[in-house]
Structure 1
Amino acid sequence: MKTAAISIHSSTAAEAVAPATAKARMAAYLELTKPRITFLIVLTSAAGFCLGSIGTVNYLLFAHALIGIALLSSGIATLNQFMERDLDALMRRTADRPLPSGRLFPFEALWFGVTLTLMAEAYLALFVNVLTALLGLTVIAGYLFVYTPLKTRTSLSTALGAFPGAMPPLMGWTAARGEIDVAAWVLFAILFLW
Structure 2
Amino acid sequence: MTAVESRPAGHVRRTVGEREQSPGHRPLGARVMGFVALTKPRIIELLLITTVPVMFLAEQGVPDLWLVLATCVGGYLSAGGANALNMYIDRDIDALMDRTSQRPLVTGMVSPRECLVFGLSLAVISTVWFGVLVNWLSAALSLAALLFYVVVYTMLLKRRTAQNIVWGGIAGCMPVFIGWSAVTNSVSWAAVVLFLVIFFWTPPHYWPLSMKVKDDYARAGVPMLPVIAANTVVARQIVLYSWVMVAVSLTLWPLGYVGWFYPLVAAVAGGWWLKEAHGLQARAKAGVTGAKLKEMRLFHWSITYVSLLFVAIAVDPFLR
Report the TM-score when normalising by structure 2: 0.55
The residue that corresponds to 2:240 in the other structure is none
Number of residue pairs matched by the alignment = 188
- 1: distance between equivalents of 2:35 and 2:62? 37
Check the 8 A contact 2:123/2:143 in 1, yes or no: no
- 1: distance between equivalents of 2:51 and 2:13? 37
Name the aligned partner's letter for residue 170 of structure 2: F
Check the 8 A contact 1:131/1:174 in 2, yes or no: yes
- 2: distance between equivalents of 1:81 and 1:30? 12
- 1: distance between equivalents of 2:95 and 2:14? 5
> Deviation at 1:9?
10
Residue number among 155, 161, 172 corresponding to 2:168 in the alignment: 161
Check the 8 A contact 2:81/2:146 in 1, yes or no: no
The residue that corresponds to 2:42 in the other structure is 36
**Could you say which structure has the greater relative contact order, defined with CA pairs below 8 angstroms and 6 or more residues apart?**
1
Worse-superposed segment, 45-54 or 81-90? 45-54
CA change 1:93–1:8 in 2 (3 A) is: farther
> Deviation at 1:76?
0.8
Residue number among 72, 79, 101 corresponding to 1:73 in the alignment: 79
CA change 1:124–1:86 in 2 (3 A) is: same
Q: Secondary structure at the match of 1:100?
A: helix
CA change 1:14–1:126 in 2 (3 A) is: farther
RMSD: 2.2
- 1: distance between equivalents of 2:30 and 2:64? 38
> Deviation at 1:174?
0.8
- CA deviations 1:106-141 (Å, max 9, x no partner) are 111111111111111100011101111111121112
Gaps of 5+ in 2: 1-10, 202-320
Q: Does 1:17 align with 2:17?
A: no
- CA deviations 1:69-97 (Å, max 9, x no partner) are 11111111111101101111111221211
The residue that corresponds to 1:182 in the other structure is 189
Worse-superposed segment, 165-174 or 49-58? 49-58
> Deviation at 1:14?
5.8
- 1: distance between equivalents of 2:184 and 2:19? 44
Name the aligned partner's letter for residue 17 of structure 1: S
> Deviation at 1:17?
3.2
Residue number among 90, 96, 102 corresponding to 1:96 in the alignment: 102
> Deviation at 1:142?
1.2
Check the 8 A contact 1:15/1:104 in 2, yes or no: no
The residue that corresponds to 1:63 in the other structure is 69
